[in-house]
């Protein structure tokens, strides 16, 4: 079987039932393996068997359901704007006509017969012009056996409209006491439904505005510097790795690259959350989408447009907004069985009032009211709109939530496990001392230059500062994660690493090197021993600073009853020194990556575990932990493994991530409460259970108002996340 994953932008969905309907229809098609449609992100992710199904057929079937597929994200935005403008126009027309109907109905401006026919004409415009979208979507929903809220609206308002029309044109069919007309009620219901749609669309667009801002950050053009130093303006997405690009003051950086000439103040706030512009000079790296606020620079392109940090963030954000958390899947299931249940309740209500009690007027009012008040759009909106707001707020804070499922788990975290180098410390490691003779530096530089580890970079930097270049070919190299490097050069074996690596290779520290090693071990942040053959030649003493916000983060975690743990490959003395400074009681030192993974698994037997790291060797632990957090400064592999990426590299964002998750789940639960509360209280009220006791009967008009406000409530509640203090 040859499979293909397809990502499509879909416009025209008005609520979560639309996305459910598309999924349900496509899942029945032979050749469709997996379908996931997000109403909130206007997006569908599909997996097809290419031998049985095609992308064209997929698009054709989606459009057959009444929605549009937009290949271009900008076109999708334009379509969404058009949809929003159309709903706004229909709402204001409907509102104007509904008010006019009320003025006619409750005044003596016109003769009674003229007034009745005028109301009929105005109500017909509202019903079949302003309310046409509900008929259209309800018809398609019924064909596809997906009984969504549009079916309820169409049924409810049609019942009121056609009953009133029959009374108007064929009054002799009804006894005197049943000749009532509900044109005003049907018109008001459609008006409020459109108001709900208008407010939803408006709020939804605001909830996802950060993603739109990010997309708009991507520069369209670039000043390509040609070989003869002339400038050609080309599309930014056509830039290739190695191209030189001139970036003037006020222009956005068109690609991820490195400055090769000039310097400038770069505003990175939209990518990293850094509030002040950063001064960047030659050899500093710059990111696509950031703004050159002062200066002229020439950069060399390091990544193509599809691979830039900005494009990766946008892709991850879109993906995160498309995902569901377990509680939302529960809500969707309820919403799907809700409509048929409500239709049955409406029929029973009519039969009880009409046949059992014998009151056909109340039978009509109550059964229509049940249909109208029960629309499950608030239920469907409750979680997706909260997730969109949460992911959007996180991104604004420099917190990229890749996997929204962790929003539900973070409240149960008991252990927060930290890697040391680059996570709790700055990772800006320097060699402070060495007892190794200078004649060995060149070979050591050759070997360490083959590793990307911060310690290797520090040693290479130290060697290069001795005016020695480190670009010689090494015969054989083996990098041992968590320990060091073994290499063969000119038929000699070199081992560079921690004490355990040397012990594993039966090498002991020679007496002439032991004194330096033991003294430095107590005051440095670590040592790298070096041996040739079976003899040590000395060691490098290393220094690394603890991050400014590390202590505050550890204290805050303790206040949240979360136990901080230090998990590092460094020796016990260095690990204990860092742990003491940060007031961390539980420490695992001298552990290799596979042992880190085992520690995480062991801790998970007790409770949920969060792991915060940045290196390639942390990736298995990040993936295994219930919540994996990685820093943007870390490796691409660790970023792929993480549930959350801290774009701003600030440790305090760990606390913000926890607070954001807790607030998000609180909002989701509040939303579900309000959505259920409206329906649980509204349906019996609409069915007329209070009438025998208090004479209270909910008219279809007020049922429509209540239903619309249930959607507005959950949307406005979700938008609180945008201003919540984290």
Domain final position from 307, 334, 355: 307
Q: Strand 608-613 and strand 413-418: pairing?
A: parallel
Q: Percent of the chain beyond pLDDT 90?
A: 18
pLDDT tens-place string over residues 336-353: 677 778 888 889 998 998
pLDDT at 256 over 70: yes
Domain final position from 642, 675, 699: 642
pLDDT at 681 over 70: yes
User: How far is 288 from 57, CA to CA, in rounded Å?
Assistant: 36
Instruction: Decide which of 299 and 450 is more confident.
Output: 299
Max Cα distance, the chain (Å): 117
| pLDDT class of 6 with cuts at 50, 70, 90 | confident
pLDDT at 549 over 70: yes
Q: Strand 608-613 and strand 627-631: pairing?
A: parallel
206, 719 Cβ separation under 8 angstroms: yes
pLDDT at 171 over 80: yes
Our measurement of the distance from residue 18's CA atom to the centroid of its chain's CA atoms, rounded to an integer in Å, reads 21
SS (H, E, C) 242-303: CCEEEECCCCECCCCEEEEEEEEEEECHHHHCCCCCEEECCCCEECCCCEEEEEEEEEEECC
Nearest to 369 by CA among 185, 135, 192, 167: 185
Domain final position from 544, 568, 595: 544
User: How far is 79 from 694, CA to CA, in rounded Å?
Assistant: 49
Mean pLDDT of 275-295: 80
Nearest to 297 by CA among 280, 315, 321, 314: 280
Nearest to 681 by CA among 391, 315, 369: 369
The structural domain count of the chain equals 5
Q: Are 527 and 574 found together in one domain? A: no
Among the residue ranges 14-18, 45-49, 66-70, 393-397, the one predicted with the least confidence is 14-18
pLDDT at 181: 78
- Domain assignment present for 704: yes
Q: Is 219 strand, coil or helix?
A: coil
- Domain assignment present for 397: no
pLDDT at 119: 92
Containing structural domain, residue 144: 80-211+319-387+667-723
Q: Are 186 and 99 found together in one domain? A: yes
- Label residue 473 exposed, middle or buried (CB < 10 Å: 0-12, 13-18, 19+): exposed
Q: Left, alpha or beta for 295 (phi > 0: left; psi -120 to 50: alpha)? A: left
pLDDT at 442: 86
The segment with the largest mean pLDDT, out of 131-140, 289-298, 436-445, 593-602, is: 436-445
Average pLDDT over the chain, rounded to an integer: 82
- Domain assignment present for 126: yes
- Domain assignment present for 616: yes
pLDDT at 404: 77
Q: Are 86 and 164 found together in one domain? A: yes
- Domain assignment present for 655: no
pLDDT at 447: 87
CA separation, residue 687 to residues 158, 346, 354, 673, 705 (Å):
18, 8, 12, 21, 16
Q: Are 562 and 602 found together in one domain? A: yes
Q: Are 379 and 436 found together in one domain? A: no
626, 413 Cβ separation under 8 angstroms: yes
| pLDDT class of 68 with cuts at 50, 70, 90 | confident
CA separation, residue 343 to residues 151, 248, 311, 338, 375 (Å):
9, 64, 46, 9, 11
pLDDT at 321 over 60: no
pLDDT at 336: 65
Among the residue ranges 40-44, 163-167, 268-272, the one predicted with the least confidence is 268-272
pLDDT at 305: 77
pLDDT at 538 over 80: yes
Spell out a b/e string for 352-375, using b for 16 or more CB atoms within 10 Å of the CB, else e.
bbbeeeebbebbbbbbbbbbbbbb
Return the sign of the alpha-carbon dihedral for residues 27, 29, 34, 38. negative
Q: Are 104 and 187 found together in one domain? A: yes
pLDDT at 550 over 90: yes
Q: Are 231 and 326 found together in one domain? A: no
pLDDT at 183 over 60: yes
Q: Is 359 a catalytic residue?
A: no
- Domain assignment present for 648: no
Q: Is 126 strand, coil or helix?
A: helix
| pLDDT class of 380 with cuts at 50, 70, 90 | low
Nearest 5 degrees, angle CA 106-CA 110-CA 112?
A: 75
Catalytic residue chosen out of the listed positions 419, 544, 614, 643: 419
CATH assignment at residue 413: 3.40.50.1000
pLDDT at 322: 55
pLDDT at 372 over 60: yes
Q: Are 539 and 553 found together in one domain? A: no
- Domain assignment present for 654: no
pLDDT at 207 over 70: no
pLDDT at 276: 58
| pLDDT class of 627 with cuts at 50, 70, 90 | very high
CB atoms within 10 A of CB 272: 18
pLDDT at 701: 64
CATH assignment at residue 501: 3.40.1110.10
User: How far is 103 from 100, CA to CA, in rounded Å?
Assistant: 5
pLDDT at 471: 65
pLDDT at 536: 93
Structure tokens at 547: 């991050």
Q: Strand 399-401 and strand 285-286: pairing?
A: unpaired
CATH assignment at residue 13: 3.30.70.100
pLDDT tens-place string over residues 455-508: 888 898 888 888 877 666 677 888 776 688 998 888 889 999 988 889 889 998
Instruction: Decide which of 387 and 613 is more confident.
Output: 613
Q: Are 201 and 329 found together in one domain? A: yes
User: How far is 124 from 106, CA to CA, in rounded Å?
Assistant: 19
pLDDT at 571 over 90: no
pLDDT at 725: 81
Q: Are 195 and 89 found together in one domain? A: yes
DSSP of 147-183: --HHHHHHHHHHHHHHHHHHHHH-GGGS-GGG----H
pLDDT tens-place string over residues 629-680: 988 776 666 677 788 988 888 899 999 999 999 999 999 889 888 887 877 8
Specify the DSSP element, H or E, that contains 542: strand 535-543
User: How far is 698 from 704, CA to CA, in rounded Å?
Assistant: 10
pLDDT at 408 over 70: yes
Q: Are 474 and 533 found together in one domain? A: yes
Instruction: Decide which of 451 and 199 is more confident.
Output: 451
- Domain assignment present for 242: yes
pLDDT at 718: 85
Nearest 5 degrees, angle CA 532-CA 537-CA 543?
A: 120
User: How far is 647 from 657, CA to CA, in rounded Å?
Assistant: 12
Q: Are 488 and 561 found together in one domain? A: no
CATH assignment at residue 295: 2.70.150.10
Nearest to 307 by CA among 234, 241, 403, 396: 241
């Amino acid at each position: 079987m040859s499979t293909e994953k397809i990502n499509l932008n879909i416009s025209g969905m008005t609520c979560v039932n639309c996305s459910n309907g598309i999924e349900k229809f496509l899942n029945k098609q032979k050749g469709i393996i997996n379908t996931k449609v997000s109403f909130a992100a206007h997006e569908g992710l599909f997996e097809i068997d290419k031998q049985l199904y095609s992308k064209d057929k997929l698009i054709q079937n989606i459009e057959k359901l009444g929605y549009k597929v937009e290949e271009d994200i900008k076109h999708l935005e334009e379509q969404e704007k058009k949809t929003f403008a159309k709903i706004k126009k229909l709402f204001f027309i409907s509102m104007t006509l509904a008010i006019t109907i009320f003025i006619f109905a409750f005044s003596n401006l016109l003769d009674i017969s003229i007034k009745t026919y005028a109301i009929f004409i105005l109500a017909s415009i509202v019903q079949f012009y302003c309310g046409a979208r509900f008929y259209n979507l309800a018809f398609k929903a019924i064909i596809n056996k997906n009984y969504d809220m549009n079916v309820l609206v169409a049924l409810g308002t049609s019942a009121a409209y056609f009953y009133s029309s029959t009374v108007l044109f064929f009054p002799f069919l009804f006894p005197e006491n049943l000749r009532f007309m509900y044109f005003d009620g049907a018109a008001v219901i459609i008006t409020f439904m459109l108001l709900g749609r208008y407010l939803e669309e408006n709020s939804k667009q605001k909830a996802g505005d950060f993603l739109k801002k990010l997309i708009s950050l991507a520069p369209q053009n670039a000043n390509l510097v040609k070989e003869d130093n002339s400038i050609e303006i080309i599309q930014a997405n056509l830039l290739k790795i190695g191209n030189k690009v001139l970036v003037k003051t006020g222009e956005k950086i068109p690609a991820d690259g490195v400055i090769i000439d000039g310097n400038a103040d770069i505003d990175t706030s939209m990518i990293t959350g850094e509030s002040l512009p950063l001064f960047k000079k030659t050899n500093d790296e710059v990111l696509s989408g950031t703004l050159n606020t002062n200066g002229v620079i020439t950069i060399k392109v390091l990544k193509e447009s599809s691979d830039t940090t900005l494009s990766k963030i946008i892709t991850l954000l879109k993906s995160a907004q498309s995902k569901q958390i377990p509680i939302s899947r529960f809500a969707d299931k309820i919403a799907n069985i809700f409509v048929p249940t409500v239709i049955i309740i409406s029929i029973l209500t009519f039969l009880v009032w009409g046949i059992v009690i014998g009151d056909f007027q109340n039978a009509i009012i109550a059964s229509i009211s049940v249909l109208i008040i029960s629309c499950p759009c608030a239920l469907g909106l409750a979680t997706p709109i909260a997730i969109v707001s949460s992911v959007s707020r996180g991104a604004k804070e420099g917190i990229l939530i890749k996997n929204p499922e962790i929003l539900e788990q973070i409240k149960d975290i008991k252990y927060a496990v930290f890697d040391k180098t680059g996570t709790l410390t700055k990772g800006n490691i320097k060699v402070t001392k060495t007892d190794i003779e200078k004649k060995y530096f060149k070979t050591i530089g050759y070997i360490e230059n083959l590793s990307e580890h911060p310690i290797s970079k520090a040693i290479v930097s130290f060697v290069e500062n001795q005016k020695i270049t480190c670009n010689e070919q090494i015969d054989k190299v083996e990098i041992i994660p968590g320990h060091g490097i073994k290499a063969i050069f000119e038929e000699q074996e070199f081992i560079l690493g921690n004490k355990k690596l040397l012990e594993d290779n039966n090498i002991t520290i020679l007496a002439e090197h032991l004194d330096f090693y033991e003294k430095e071990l107590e005051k440095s942040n670590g040592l790298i021993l070096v041996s040739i053959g079976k003899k040590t030649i000395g060691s490098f003493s290393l220094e690394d600073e603890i991050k400014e916000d590390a202590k505050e983060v550890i204290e805050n975690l303790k206040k949240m009853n979360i136990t901080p743990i230090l998990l590092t490959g460094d020796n016990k003395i260095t690990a204990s020194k860092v742990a003491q400074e940060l007031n961390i009681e539980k420490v695992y030192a001298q552990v290799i990556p596979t042992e880190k993974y085992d520690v995480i698994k062991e801790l998970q037997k007790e409770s949920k575990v969060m792991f915060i790291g940045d290196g390639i060797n942390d990736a298995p632990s990040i993936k295994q932990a219930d919540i994996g957090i990685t820093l943007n400064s870390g490796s691409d592999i660790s970023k792929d493994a993480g549930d959350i990426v801290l774009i701003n590299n600030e440790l305090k964002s760990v606390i913000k991530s926890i607070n954001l998750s807790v607030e998000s789940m609180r909002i989701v639960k509040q939303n579900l409460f309000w959505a259920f509360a409206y329906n649980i209280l509204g349906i019996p009220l609409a069915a007329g259970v209070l009438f025998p006791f208090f004479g209270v009967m909910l008219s279809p008009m007020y049922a429509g108002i209540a239903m619309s406000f249930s959607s507005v409530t959950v949307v406005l509640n979700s938008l609180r996340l945008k201003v919540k203090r984290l």
